[in-house]
Amino acid sequence: MHRRAITGIYSVITYYRCSISAPLWRCLRGMALWLTVIAGLVLPLSCLSYKPQSPAGLIEPSEQRTLYERNILNHIDDDPARAIQLVDLYGRESNLFEEDELSQYLSQASANIISHFNDQVGAEKFDEALALHQILETLQLAPQLKWSRDQIYLALTRQQLANGEILPALFSFAQIDSGGLLATDELQQLLNIAQQHNHHQAAQRINRILGKDRDSQTPALNLEEVLDGLVTVWVDRGYRIERGVGVPDRIVGSGFFIDTEGHVLTNYHIISSEVDSSYEGYSRLYLQLPSNLHLRLPARVIGYDPIFDIALLKAEWEPTYVFGLENSPHDIGYGSRIFALGSPIGLQSSISSGVISSPNRRFLQIGEALQIDAPVNPGNSGGPLIDDQGTLMGIVFAGIQEFYGINFAIPAQWVWRLIPQLYAGGQVEHAWLGASLFESQGKLEIQYVVPGGPADKLGIEKGSTLLKIANSAPRSISEAQELLVRHRPEALVRVEWSDNEAQHSGLVKLGSRPKSPIEELLKTQEVEYLFTPLFGIDVQRTNRNLPPREYVVQRVYPGTTADQLDISQGDTFQLYEWNVDSHRRLVSIRIVVKKRSNSFNDSGVQVGSLLDQPHFI
């Protein structure tokens, strides 16, 4: 029986104490205590340790070598990137292989990747070829290929144009370093598309290539014209019961057209019931147009990203105005003038104005959000944020209703990067190293390593310092996350880190980021192992069997929740309760602390933290 279940029995018996007779109470309490003690004796203490035990030291070196060799060979054909990571790992951590043996395995695995790359190019699956090209660049084997990165993007651009995939074609073109690879008629076709879809940066670049700089001026902002590109997003979820009465369950939000094919961007949280497998009720999505408020335009979800809170919808409609997405962000500084467009509480075609309060708030799981002071109300979510020239600055996604003027938007450059995955359909996946970082004095310290994740398999341990990802040195958590967003899940990258002993470098196959790392970890980990990423404290448990659990604080990270509560190293506390509120996205614990600063007197504290932490990579 699991220790958590037994502790739960004890808690339930204690809770219902008032309704149980005294003899029965004593009997049940004794049984629960004995069950807890037995669990502590029977269950090995190793269940509290998440590090997998290495076979090294448990078997003879010859058997260990055979095991490692079999592990490489099992992956070398089906998953050569994983085989290359194992070759790198075994070469760093053991002396069981000669250098030429590992080189042979490396060559065989690399040859398999090159062969797969050539197959994808031959089949005109250029998107898959790009993923393999990225791996071969990491291995410094790209010069051996007949196709360069620019040539693949060139072929992909032509393919997308032929298929009528307008925005993906503009995105692929933006990745080509040398625009001269395209013929003049192809450039002119792209220029017409860019101008029609208000992609001013793309139009300016093409005009420069064609020698038409005089034609690259950005048109003046016409707000009446811009409003024609808005939609109100409605999700009908039937009825919900409140106090025995059926009440219509409607979700209202905003959205905007981004191409003439009828694709609309909005927030994921508005349409989540359309794609979330855990939602079991009725859900129907439709749009309302400002030009015809009586028309219910059916729409469907094409792609969605729960982490960035973005969704791409498709309606059978040709808009008169579309919002242009840009390849790179404009200068966004404190006080920059902006307009928030949308349908607050369902009032279509509303405009509110304000400024950028801060361009770099850590409010998203990945990257930084824009804090704005423009009035935002329920229904504004999913609407565009533009500057005084009509350039898309971001997508409104949240407001703190209790505090006037504190609202947030997703920066447009993040949205632009997601375009290929959104148009491809389904849920967007992000690359994942599987670690939590603490940023201090220009250093990125590993404060938590996800058990079994890529960083764990690489050999990175808690307390190490992250130095480089893919040969780039991130100076902040946001920069580290941005480096990973450039790669796909299952990409092979080189990571460099240091610990107290030395500096290390290794190849790692990235994983796929969970929708909510903490939520996933709580399914397999005891909450005490997540105190560090959640509350900013390292702890050591001082009792193993009887509840409540007792801990001594080993370290407090500056600026974290625990630090703000004046918890310090050497303090002790007992954990009485912890709760996860998935709806409000919060984790809370109820503890009784003995603080050194308070002469070790008891002090009850309720500690809360966001479930979606912004420092995982």
At 219-246, the pLDDT tens digits run 778 888 999 999 999 999 999 888 888 8
Q: Are 385 and 371 in contact (CB under 8 A)?
A: no
Q: What is the pLDDT of residue 584?
A: 85
Whether the per-residue pLDDT at 84 is higher than 80: the answer is yes
How far is Cα 172 from Cα 499, in angstroms, rounded to an integer?
A: 40
Q: Report the DSSP pairing between strands 337-342 and 549-556.
A: unpaired
pLDDT band at 3; cut points 50, 70, 90: very low
DSSP 8-state symbol, 214: G
Q: What is the pLDDT of residue 473?
A: 96
Give tens-digit pLDDT for 261-317: 999 999 999 999 999 988 988 999 999 998 887 889 999 999 999 999 999 999 999
How far is Cα 385 from Cα 353, in angstroms, rounded to an integer?
A: 10
Q: What is the pLDDT of residue 40?
A: 37
How far is Cα 240 from Cα 120, in angstroms, rounded to an integer?
A: 50
Q: Which of 116, 228, 269, 566 is catalytic?
A: 269
Longest Cα–Cα distance of the chain, Å, equals 94
Q: What is the pLDDT of residue 214?
A: 55
3-state secondary structure of 483: helix
Q: Which of 88, 259, 305, 309 is catalytic?
A: 309
The crossing angle, in degrees rounded to 10, of helices 99-122 and 80-93 is 160
Cis preceding linkage at 548, omega within 30: yes
Q: What is the pLDDT of residue 39?
A: 38
Q: Are 336 and 353 in contact (CB under 8 A)?
A: no
How far is Cα 359 from Cα 409, in angstroms, rounded to an integer?
A: 10
Q: Which of 511, 486, 361, 537 is nearest to 435 (CA)?
A: 511
- β-partners of residue 286 are 234, 298
Q: What is the pLDDT of residue 146?
A: 92
Contacts (Cβ under 8 Å, ≥6 apart) of 456:
51, 52, 434, 449, 450
Whether the per-residue pLDDT at 327 is higher than 90: the answer is no
DSSP 8-state symbol, 325: P
- Catalytic site residue 119? no
Q: Are 288 and 251 in contact (CB under 8 A)?
A: no
Per-residue CA distances from 96 to 61, 100, 230 (Å): 7, 12, 64
3-state secondary structure of 248: strand
Whether the per-residue pLDDT at 28 is higher than 50: the answer is no
Q: Which of 585, 480, 587, 516 is nearest to 306 (CA)?
A: 516
Full DSSP string of 439-466: EETTEEEEEEE-TTSHHHHHT--TT-EE
Give tens-digit pLDDT for 147-182: 999 999 999 999 999 998 999 999 999 999 876 788
How far is Cα 188 from Cα 177, in angstroms, rounded to an integer?
A: 18
Q: Which of 67, 74, 8, 65 is nearest to 35 (CA)?
A: 8
3-state secondary structure of 211: coil
Q: Note the pTM of the prediction, 2 decimals.
A: 0.85
Torsions phi, psi of 95, nearest 5?
Answer: -115, 30
Q: What is the pLDDT of residue 54?
A: 45
Q: Are 167 and 143 in contact (CB under 8 A)?
A: no
pLDDT band at 47; cut points 50, 70, 90: very low
**Which residue carries 């960035």 as its tokens?**
308
**pLDDT average, residue stretch 575-601:** 86
Percent share of the chain, pLDDT over 90: 62
Q: Can you list the alpha helix ranges (DSSP code H) found in 211-259?
A: 223-227
Say how many C-beta atoms besides its own lie within 10 A of residue 8's C-beta: 13
Say how many C-beta atoms besides its own lie within 10 A of residue 41's C-beta: 9
Give tens-digit pLDDT for 329-379: 556 789 899 999 999 888 888 999 999 999 888 888 998 899 999 988 889
Q: What is the pLDDT of residue 7?
A: 38
3-state secondary structure of 111: helix
Whether the per-residue pLDDT at 195 is higher than 70: the answer is yes
- First-last CA distance in the chain: 34
Q: What is the pLDDT of residue 331?
A: 67
Mean pLDDT (the chain) is: 86
Higher pLDDT, 389 or 465: 465
Contacts (Cβ under 8 Å, ≥6 apart) of 510:
431, 432, 433, 454, 484, 487, 488, 489, 490, 491, 492, 493
Whether the per-residue pLDDT at 400 is higher than 80: the answer is no
Whether the per-residue pLDDT at 29 is higher than 90: the answer is no
Q: What is the pLDDT of residue 42?
A: 35
- Catalytic site residue 283? no
Q: Are 383 and 352 in contact (CB under 8 A)?
A: no
DSSP 8-state symbol, 305: E
Full DSSP string of 568-584: -TT-EEEEEEEEEETTT
Q: What is the pLDDT of residue 183?
A: 87
Six-digit token pair at 272? Answer: 């989540």
- β-partners of residue 455 are none
Q: What is the pLDDT of residue 58?
A: 61
Q: Which of 237, 297, 268 is nearest to 382 (CA)?
A: 268
Q: Which of 283, 350, 381, 609 is catalytic?
A: 381
Give tens-digit pLDDT for 97-134: 888 999 999 999 999 999 999 999 999 999 999 999 99
Q: How many CA atoms lie within 13 A of 581 on its CB side?
A: 10
Q: Are 563 and 556 in contact (CB under 8 A)?
A: yes
Give tens-digit pLDDT for 203-223: 988 998 888 865 556 677 888
H or E stretch at 436? strand 435-440
DSSP 8-state symbol, 411: E
**pLDDT average, residue stretch 425-438:** 96
Instruction: Determine the residue type at 97.
Output: F
**pLDDT average, residue stretch 462-476:** 95
Q: Are 588 and 581 in contact (CB under 8 A)?
A: yes
**pLDDT average, residue stretch 438-462:** 94
Indicate the burial class of 605 (C-beta count within 10 angstroms; 0-12, 13-18, 19 or more): middle
- Catalytic site residue 309? yes
